């Protein structure tokens, strides 16, 4: 149960009802992370537009890499809600429960290559100590083959999930196992 009032789909009217209907039509279902913002409907729409741009827009980062960063940031922040959701999405791309489980344990079972390991380290660094990101740390990513656009996109994904983790953790959003799967990826 959330720490604040949430307007459920059956109670929604006007602008919020339209937003909810749009999310169901485009995503396949309505997520609790959207409903937690229901008292301020324009933020739900802005949130989804930002999410779509960062996670699904054109990028030198592959979709699985963006989901992998989401999982690493959310694990670092101990945000079970986002870990479960984005681990499920990552399974859709990796097609391997074992690899995702390995990432969740930060073990070799994740079978990360050098580039993915660098992205995970960068995501964790941004989450724990963003003030310690230096040109040298960015040069490590460049050395691993990431251009400045890829570095920007990795930073946007990590920053977005730090933002969302704080919403879910601060407002008491709990994992609803039925809600975790069934999205349109």
Instruction: Report whether 168 contacts 34 (CB < 8 A).
Output: no
Contact in structure between 165 and 77 (CB atoms under 8 Å):
yes
Q: How confident is the model at residue 182 (pLDDT cuts 50, 70, 90)?
A: low
Packing angle, helices 135-143 and 114-128, rounded to 10: 160
Q: Is 80 exceeded by the pLDDT of residue 81?
A: yes
Q: What is the pLDDT of residue 28?
A: 83
Query: Residues, the chain, total?
Result: 185
- CATH architecture of the domain formed by 63-170: Up-down Bundle (1.20)
Q: Residue 107: which pLDDT band, with cuts at 50, 70 and 90? A: confident
Q: Does pLDDT of 65 surpass 60?
A: yes
| Domain locations in the chain as residue ranges | 9-57, 63-170
pTM of the model: 0.92
Average pLDDT on 8-28 reads 94
**pLDDT per residue as tens digits for the range 129-151:** 999 999 999 999 999 999 999 99
CA distances for 57 relative to 3, 100, 124, angstroms: 33, 23, 23
pLDDT over threshold 90, residue 17:
yes
CB contact at 8 A, 122 and 153: no
């Amino acid at each position: 149960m959330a720490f604040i009032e949430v307007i459920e789909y059956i109670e929604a009217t006007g602008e919020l009802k339209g937003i909810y209907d749009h999310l169901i039509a485009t995503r396949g279902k309505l997520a609790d992370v959207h409903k937690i913002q229901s008292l301020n409907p324009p933020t739900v729409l802005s949130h989804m537009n930002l999410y779509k741009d960062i996670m699904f827009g054109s990028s030198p980062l592959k979709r699985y890499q963006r989901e992998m960063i989401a999982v690493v940031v959310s694990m670092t922040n101990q945000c079970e809600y986002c870990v479960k959701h984005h681990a499920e999405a990552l399974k859709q791309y990796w097609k391997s429960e074992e690899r995702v489980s390995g990432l969740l344990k930060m073990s070799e079972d994740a079978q990360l290559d050098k580039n993915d390991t660098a992205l995970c380290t960068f995501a964790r660094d941004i989450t724990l100590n963003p003030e310690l990101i230096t040109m040298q740390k960015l040069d490590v990513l460049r050395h691993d083959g990431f251009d400045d656009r890829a570095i920007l996109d990795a930073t946007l994904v990590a920053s977005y999930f730090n933002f969302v983790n704080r919403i879910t953790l601060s407002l008491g959003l709990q994992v609803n196992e039925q809600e975790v799967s069934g999205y349109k990826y």
